[in-house]
Chains A and B, each alone.
Chain A
Amino acid sequence: MNTLILSGRKWMDKLIASLYVLPAFTVYFIFILLPILNTLRYSFFNWTGFSPPTFRGLGNYQELLQDPIFLKAFMNNLRFIVYYTAFPIVLALVLTALLARKNLKGRNVFRAAFFLPYIMPMVVVGVVWRWIYNPVFGLLNGTLRAIGLGALTRPWLGDFSLAQPAVGVIAIWAQFGFCLALFMAGVQKIDEALYDAAKVDGASEFDQLIYVTIPGIRDELLVALVSTLIAALRAFDLVFVTTRGGPGNETMVTTLYLFQNAFQLNRMGYASAIAVIQTLFILAISYAMLRFLSSRQ
Chain B
Amino acid sequence: MKNLLRLITLLVVMTLVLSAVGCQGRETSTPATEASTGAPAEAENITLLVWDQAARPEDSAIMDAIVARYQAAHPNVTVIREAKTLDDLKSTLPLAMSSPEGPCISMINQGQSDMGAMVAAGLLRPLDEYAELYGWYDHISPGLVALNSWTDDGSQMGEGHFYGIPTHAEIVGVYYRKDIFAQYGLTVPQTYAEFEAVMETLQQNGVTPITYGGLDGWPALHLYSEIQNAQLAERSWYDDFMFLRGNVTFDTPANLEAARLLQEWVQKGYLTEGFEGIGYDDSWQMFSAGEGAMMLTGNWLSADLLAGPNGANLGFFLVPPLEAGGYKLNVGGAGAGYGISAQCPYPDEAADYINYLFSEETAEALLAAGSLPVYPVDTSNLEDGLLKDIVAAWNFANQHDAVGYYFDWVTPTMYDTSTAALQELMANQITPEEFVDKINADYVRFLNSR
Contact residues of A with B, CB < 8 Å?
Answer: 9, 12-13, 15-16, 19-20, 22-23, 26, 30, 48-51, 69, 130, 133-137, 141, 153-160, 243-249, 260, 263-267
Closest chain-B Cβ to A69's Cβ sits at a distance in Å of 8
Given A135-B273, A136-B291, check contact A19 B279 (CB 8 Å): no
Distance, CA A264 to CA B88, complexed state (A): 10
Given contacts A50-B98, A246-B419, A265-B113, whether A154 and B120 have CB atoms under 8 Å apart is: no
Chain B residues lying within 8 Å of A130, measured Cβ to Cβ, are: 215, 279
- Contact call B429/A248, Cβ cutoff below 8 A: yes
Q: Report the Cα distance A117→B212, complex, angstroms.
A: 31
Task: Indicate if the CB atoms of A246 and B278 lie closer than 8 Å.
Answer: no
User: Once the chains bind, are A264 and B415 in contact (CB under 8 Å)?
Assistant: yes
Residues of A with C-beta under 8 A to B14: 19, 22-23
Cross-chain pair count, CB within 8 angstroms: 132
Are A19's CB and B11's CB within 8 A?
Answer: yes
Residues on B with C-beta less than 8 A from A265 are 113, 412-413, 416
A22 nearest in chain B by CB position: B14
B94, B278, B413: residue with the most chain A Cβ atoms closer than 10 Å: B278
Contact in complex: B217, A246 (CB < 8 Å):
yes
CB-CB under 8 A from B91, the residues of chain A are: 263-264
Tell yes or no: B193 within 8 A of A by CB.
no
A69 proximity list for chain B (CB < 8 A): 416
The answer to the question of B347 belonging to the interface, with a C-beta cut-off of 8 Å to chain A, is no
| Neighbouring A residues of B413 by C-beta, 8 Å | 265
In the complex, what's the smallest C-beta–C-beta distance from A7 to chain B, in angstroms? 14
Asked if A154 contacts B11 (CB within 8 A), the reply is no
Residues in B whose Cβ lies below 8 Å from that of A141:
274
In the docked arrangement, what's the CA distance between A153 and B276, Å? 12
Q: How far is the CA of A138 from the CA of B279 in the complex (A)?
A: 12
Interface size class of B (residues with CB under 8 A): 35 or more
Report how far A160 CA is from B412 CA in the complex, Å: 25
From B2-10, B178-186, B350-358, B384-392, the one touching the partner chain is B2-10
Give the interface of B toward A (CB within 8 A).
3-4, 6-7, 10-11, 14, 17-18, 21, 90-92, 94-95, 98, 113, 117-118, 120-121, 123, 214-217, 272-279, 282, 286, 291, 412-413, 415-416, 419-421, 423-424, 427, 429
Which listed residue, B123, B278, B421, touches A158 by the CB 8 Å rule?
B278
Q: In the complex the two chains form, what is the Cα distance from A130 to B282 in whole Å?
A: 10
**Taking CB as reference atom, which chain A residue is nearest B88?**
A263
Contact between A249 and B277, CB atoms less than 8 A apart = no
Check B11–A155 contact: CB distance below 8 A: no
Report A232 CB to chain B, min CB distance, Å: 23
CB of A247 within 8 A of CB of B273, answer: no
Which of B21, B95, B272, B420 meets A246, CB within 8 Å? B420
- Is B274's CB under 8 angstroms from A136's CB? yes
For B120, give its contact among A13, A51, A153 (CB under 8 Å). A51
Which residue from chain B places its CB closest to the CB of A15 in the assembled complex?
Answer: B7
Q: List 13 A-B contacts (CB under 8 A).
A: A20-B10, A48-B120, A48-B121, A135-B276, A135-B277, A136-B272, A158-B274, A247-B427, A248-B421, A248-B423, A248-B429, A264-B90, A264-B416
Which residue of A is nearest B216, CB measured? A244
Q: Are A50 and B123 in contact (CB under 8 A)?
A: yes
Q: Are A50 and B277 in contact (CB under 8 A)?
A: no
The reply to whether A155 and B277 form a contact with Cβ atoms under 8 Å apart is yes
Q: Does A264 contact B17, Cβ atoms closer than 8 Å?
A: no
Contact residues in B for A26 (Cβ distance below 8 Å): 17-18, 21
Expressed in whole angstroms, the Cα–Cα distance for A77 and B7 within the complex equals: 51
Q: Is the CB of A160 within 8 A of B429?
A: yes
Closest chain B CB from A159 CB (angstroms): 6
User: Contacts A136-B274, A246-B215, A263-B90 given; 16 further ones with Cβ under 8 A?
Assistant: A12-B4, A134-B282, A136-B272, A141-B274, A154-B277, A155-B274, A157-B276, A158-B277, A243-B215, A246-B423, A249-B420, A264-B90, A264-B416, A265-B413, A266-B94, A267-B412
Determine the distance from Cα of A266 to Cα of B3 in the docked complex, in whole angstroms.
53
Q: Which residue of A lies closest to B90 (CB)?
A: A264
Asked if residues B272 and A248 are in contact (CB atoms below 8 Å), the reply is no
